[in-house]
Each structure stands twice: as structure tokens, then as C-alpha cells.
Amino acid sequence: MDAIDKVRMMAELSKDHCDLNHGPGISNKNIPAADYIVMPFGYKEAEDTEVAVRELIIPVCYECALALKGDDWTLLYCFECAESRWVYRKFAKNCYRHHILWLRGCPDCSHEFGGLYFSDIPFHYSSAHLGINEIRFAV
């Protein structure tokens, strides 16, 4: 993502709302976005050269950005249907250690599981990152 894309995203931020799940009965239309999750898709040409063919950009609110930066929550996000769910790590049956688990198919959209990928937001050089206000959300 270059500087022009970041400026464009900053300009559109005031019109966007959080696309993540906030629980039953809560409308996301009333929750303004404060940043974006940016997940690049691509390949490595060499050990030090990565090519991003496209990027998945998800608007997130301030509270979701803080949850992604902390170690209490893990976000489950489906590539296929854009459905998301939060898992509170202390009460989970499984031991989650990543901030985002990307699902290729979930129980809501598919009966076939296509894969699982993960990202850790707090690290500057991870594949997924917060797009424009990353420094402001440092915990």
C-alpha cells in the first residue's frame, strides 16, 4: 500500500463503519470506523521481495482495533462470506495465540473447510496490519 492509497483511505474513513461482528442485535451502521485491517494477498519473488497482488481492506472501530492489538481476543474472519466472530481467549476451549484466524469457508457459508491462515497484528512486519492509524493504537 502506497502513500496515495493511505490518503484515500483516510478521506473515506469518516464515511465507513466497522465491518466486524459486535454481537447480536447491534447494528454496525452506528459504529464509525477508526482504522482498517489490511491483509495483502500475493507471493514472494525472492527472500526479500514480496508482491501484493491485491489487498483485503476491512474497516474497524476503535474498540475492535484495541482488541486486535491486545492479547485477550482472537478474531475469526471468513474470506468467503466476510462473517466475523470474536473469541475470548480465557474462556475458549482451544488455546488461541494469534490475533486473527482467517478461514476459507465457515459453518455459515460452506460445508467444506478450505483452510486456515493466521496473522498477528501487533508486529509491524506481519502480513496483516492496521492500515492508517497503526501508531495511534499502540498498546
pLDDT tens for the chain, residues 1 to 139: 677 877 788 888 888 999 999 988 888 888 999 888 888 777 677 777 766 677 888 999 999 988 988 889 999 999 888 899 999 999 999 898 888 888 888 877 877 777 777 677 654 444 456 665 553 333 3
Parallel/antiparallel/unpaired status of strands 100-103 and 73-78: parallel
* Residue ranges with strand state E in 2-89: 35-46, 49-60, 73-78, 84-88
pLDDT at 84: 93
pTM (two decimals):
0.76
pLDDT at 135: 34
pLDDT at 59: 92
Q: For 93, which DSSP code?
A: S
pLDDT at 108: 79
Name the residue among 1, 40, 2 with its Cα closest to residue 127.
40
For residues 80 and 110, the answer to whether their CB atoms sit within 8 Å is yes
